[in-house]
């Protein structure tokens, strides 16, 4: 298995973002990171962050601001981005192991 010298630090950051203090519910942050088990209104935005983050528009965010506010929405989007990046990193490490 390819060793990752930054795994412990990366896992700590992910844990702190998902489970640490914040304005949003940690369960929602974890769901955003996993892109599973989300409230219906968040599913389209979080799916877009996971699949094609560059396609997220101001309107995508603005439509959720009344329900979530800036701080909660920021935490949820950051959680999704970290979860997506972790998934891609782990896939890359597996590919290196198989090469």
Cα dihedral 1, 87, 13, 7, rounded to 10, equals: 10
pTM above 0.85? yes
Task: Quote the domain boundaries for residue 17.
Answer: 7-98
Residue 24 region by backbone torsions, left for phi larger than 0, else alpha for psi between -120 and 50, else beta: beta
Residue 42's SS3 state is: coil
Please give the Cα distance from 79 to 76 (Å, whole number).
5
pLDDT at 2 (0 to 100):
66
* Residue indicated by tokens 């959720």: 64
Q: Render each residue's pLDDT in the chain as its tens digit; 99 residues.
A: 667 788 899 999 999 999 999 999 999 999 999 999 999 999 999 999 999 999 999 999 999 999 999 999 999 999 999 999 999 998 988 898 888
Please check whether residue 47 lies inside any domain of the structure. yes
Residue 2 lies in a domain: no
Query: What local confidence, expressed as pLDDT, does residue 80 receive?
Result: 98
Inside any domain, residue 41: yes
Domain count across the chain:
1
Decide: helix, strand or coil at residue 47: helix
């Amino acid at each position: 298995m390819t060793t990752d010298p930054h795994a412990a630090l990366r896992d700590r950051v992910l844990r702190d973002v998902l489970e640490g203090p914040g304005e949003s519910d940690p369960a929602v942050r974890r769901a955003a990171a996993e892109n599973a088990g989300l409230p219906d209104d968040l599913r389209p935005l979080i799916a877009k962050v996971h699949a094609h983050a560059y396609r997220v528009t101001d309107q995508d965010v603005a439509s959720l601001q009344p329900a979530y506010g800036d701080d909660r929405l920021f935490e949820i989007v950051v959680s999704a981005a970290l979860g997506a990046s972790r998934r891609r990193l782990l896939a890359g490490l597996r590919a290196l192991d198989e090469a």
